[in-house]
Amino acid sequence: MTITFENVTKVFPGGRGIFDIQFTLQPGQITVLVGSNGAGKSTVINVLMHLLKPDSGVVSRSQHDVRYMPDDLSFPDTLTAREIMHFLGSLKGIPLDKQQHVLQLVGLEEVKHMKVKQFSKGMRQRLNLAQSLLGSSTCYILDEPTNGLDPYWIAKLKQLLEAEKERDQMVLFSTHLLSLAQEIADQVILIDHGRIVATGRVTDLCAQHHCDTLEEVWLTLTKGQTTR
């Protein structure tokens, strides 16, 4: 089963928003939503997660158990990573051993007794990733998951997402890292000023626009402009 965006528009006061967005998420596929800051990536994801209601269009994601990683998630500073995972795991009915396994996956098992106020930005981001990995899912939606991560943990994130793809899960994440999108995407969606400017496989887009890299495709389509 798929998740679809059909001609979705969401406009905010002042005229910014997303316009006529259309794409499909498939099982066993990693889709990467690429754009500069303010391009509309988070709006697409918030509409997909039903956190925002579209002005028009249809979002279909019924019968899918979706795990969500927002671009920023505030955890109580006085709690430890273990306490947070235990609380969230209890809500989802996740056994303690699986909670611990997720902390190991994100490299926080050894510091699970530290309070969150002692965590670096990257550690907080990995805790954010950990909460999104709790429990079974058919689809993972991650908004700017690389924020605050160093190169090692960006590589580990890539491995985690590719493992979910091998399990026939749907994965959608947003990023401004064109090189990461080129490495991992089965489908890439380039969004600029709230509109999709290109979508498809990286190799196809590069061939279509006579470019060697996704970065060159982006610069060609946007003429080097950024959304501010």
Domains of the chain: 1-65+137-228 (3.40.50.300), 75-136 (no CATH)
What is the predicted pLDDT for the residue at 65? Answer: 81
> What number is the average pLDDT over the span 141-167?
95
What is the predicted pLDDT for the residue at 227? Answer: 46
Q: Which of 62-76, 96-110, 169-183 has the lowest mean pLDDT?
A: 62-76
> What number is the average pLDDT over the span 165-193?
95
Contact (Cβ atoms closer than 8 angstroms) between residue 92 and residue 46: no
Q: Rounded to an integer, what distance in angstroms lies between the CA atom of residue 120 and that of residue 191? A: 31
Q: Rounded to an integer, what distance in angstroms lies between the CA atom of residue 205 and that of residue 218? A: 10
Residue 45: partners with Cβ closer than 8 Å, 6 or more residues away: 33, 141, 143, 172, 174
Q: What is the token pair recorded at 27?
A: 């099982």
Q: Is the pLDDT of residue 228 over 50?
A: no
Q: Average per-residue pLDDT in the chain? A: 93
> What number is the average pLDDT over the span 150-158?
95
pTM: 0.91
Q: Which of 151-160, 165-174, 217-226 has the lowest mean pLDDT?
A: 217-226
The 10s digit of each residue's pLDDT in 32-86 is 999 998 899 999 999 999 999 999 999 998 766 889 999 888 899 999 999 999 9
- 147, amino acid identity: N
- Dihedral sign, Cα of residue 74, residue 80, residue 86, residue 87: negative
Q: Is the pLDDT of residue 9 over 70?
A: yes
